[in-house]
Amino acid sequence: MTSGCCRVCGWAEVASAYALREWPDPAGTATPRRVPGVRIGHPDGHLRAAHDGLARGADLRGDLVWSVLDNFEWAEGGL
């Protein structure tokens, strides 16, 4: 997953040269059981990749992280 975020940051660098904006968002993890380090490792890897992209000059303006509970909030009309 982290390598995918790095690729998106690279695309964002190219897109920013043409005044396009990209908003990469992580897919999240869905595991049947809790595996220590997996859940925190996923957003941590994305944030580190985003930081690397910023250091290379990517025009990254945010990162979206959502949980399974967000789907329930949206179903009830909340944001």
Residue range 47-72: mean pLDDT, rounded: 80
Note the pLDDT tens digit of each residue in 3-56: 665 566 665 555 555 554 544 444 544 444 555 655 667 778 888 888 888 898
The DSSP call for residue 36 is T
pTM of the model: 0.45
| 77 dihedral zone (left: phi>0; alpha: psi -120 to 50; beta) | left
Whether pLDDT at 1 is above 50: no
Contact in structure between 26 and 46 (CB atoms under 8 Å): yes
Domain that holds residue 49: 2-75
Residue range 49-76: mean pLDDT, rounded: 79
Instruction: Report the domain count for the chain.
Output: 1
